[in-house]
Chains A and B, each alone.
Chain A
Amino acid sequence: MISYIFWFLSFTAVFSALATILSKNPVHSVLYIIVTFFSIAGHYFLLNAQFLAAVHIIVYAGAIMVLFLYVIMMLNLNRLEKEKTQNWMKLLSVVSAGLLMLVMVSAVGRASLMAGAGQPDETMGLTQALGQVLYRDYLLPFELSSILFLSAMVGAVYLSKKEPTTPPL
């Protein structure tokens, strides 16, 4: 029963990722990639990582994709001019992505995994266990990431400031 949920979520993720790439309208791309993110969150639930699933939905579907949608609508890109990609470029992209896929599939197919932990700990992905690891073992990276956010915020504000002296290129 639970393996059917896995297959359903996997096919949803792969097909909506493909639809993201192939759809002409960027707004449709954003909506399809939100479907992908929700199915990945479903995978996190299946793997018993509830905290990550919640954070994934909040951060990706709630913040990042809203930012994308906001920029697309602000720049009015939803009636996009046609991309002038030549056909040989498209063919080359298909071929090179296929070659990468081939390399990865053969590498993964030959990989021999070490034995796992056996019966997994069910409380591992819960907020309490994750919070203890985060605040005990990874306290310094956690604090450094706040500095990263601060610098990203300063950079974003500085970059999107209007500069009236610059002539249009």
Chain B
Amino acid sequence: MPAEAPGGRLAALVRALWPLVALLALWELAGQMRWVAGGALPAPTQILYRYWQDWGDYPRHIRATLIASGAGFVIGNAIAVAAGLLFVLAPVTGRIARGLNIAIFALPPIAIAPILSLTLEGMTPRIVLAALGVYFVTMQATVTGLQQFDSRAGDLVRAYGGGKAAVMRFVQIRGAIPAILSGFRVAAPNAVLGAILAEFGGGGRWGLGTYLLGSLGRGDPARLWGIGLTATAIAGLSYALFAVISARMLGRTRAVSLNPSAPPSETREPVNLPVMLASILLPFALWWAVLWALQVPRMIGKSPWDVIDYLFLSAQSAQAQERLLGALLQTLPITLIGMAAGLAFAFALAVSSRLTPGFTRAFLPVALVTQTMPLVALTPLLVLILGRGTAVTLWITISVTFFPAYVMIAQGLAQVPRAALELPRAYGATAWRELRLVAIPASAPWALAAVRLTAPRALLGVMIAEWLATGRGLGNLLNQSRGYMDFSMIWTVALVSVLLSVGFYQVALWIERRVMARMGGG
């Protein structure tokens, strides 16, 4: 046996790597032969060559992006952990902040990037957008981590006369560290995405976003790919950094027994009208307060009331409504269709990979890379390949929805014993009946949670594609208004897209609860 081990390990390595090698070879061939859209997909060697030529430009751009995303990461996480602690210690604050939290989670960064560039200066918009990108993930992880402590350990502390503070100190805080670290891990690429998006939407000389924007018009696919892959590498490395830190820190101190997990869902609180009202009003109050505190000129900084006035009461309101509605009608259908396709694709893959585990092994690494790739960097590449039509928007939405949905559905299916999945077939059930009896009910709550969590990202993807490529819909309206300095419309589009995103989230949550209630889960 020992003599065979090295050979076995080598064979395993070869088996693990060959899909990657094959893919690279195919990519090289496709690039050299200009198979894809007349050279829109350059060969890896061409990208490397261009990279080498451009190397003088990169350090300053990378440095600017790293500083902005690093500062945003630190600030956003500090606020998020503090907020998480507060929400757990005083749950009513969490309920009041619910509207604000969902708005921050759902807001498409691209929609508020222009606003931030208008109202803030220098690096600040980038840092703010990076911080906004990490806040929700880490806050949620902190709250979950603090709430899911071992209740027996909590009882023990209380049995020796310890109060809430003692349970927090001895059990909850240390127990939440794994969850918080995994929050950091997921948040890190978000910070990079936020910083690049802000560079994109604002001024400034340096930053990968600026570099990307400046290179768009040159029609040099190799450079766009170089920038995109650099951004992906930064995001991926930041993720890996925290994966390593948490693996080293946790090591042997993992919990002895684990709770069976349910999909992450919001707990349902009794309806309390004043709290609900406060939760809805808080984001608007904050909006007002920030404008006031920063002393933003009235012409640039529009208050919630200004937006209502512009959209419904002013002389231009009819025209504004028409433009907005037209844009919405272009953006909405494509978002919904893309999400449905992404979900269906994810479901099919999850089911098939559950029944034939080897099948997905070659495919998943590629999907993983596209997920780490910041959307802004991915979009221009897809535009190069797919052109400026509807297809590109659709593909972006699918790719954004697909992967998280796949992960969640697979997680749901993993909790069903394989035997249960195959049982109907043992009784001669058709494939469809088998799906209907086991796979769909087992994964429905997870698929719905995935919809809730990916809807905002899907909208972001569509808006980026519209802004950069297709010249339609909300994204284009935002870009146009920026060009015309139509401040009222910029604020309106930002508000509408945030509301739309929150709306998606709430509808998905509502359906999820209905289904869960019917299935007796929850």
Q: Do A and B bind each other?
A: no
List residues of chain A with CB under 8 Å of any chain B CB.
Answer: none
List residues of chain B with CB under 8 Å of any chain A CB.
Answer: none
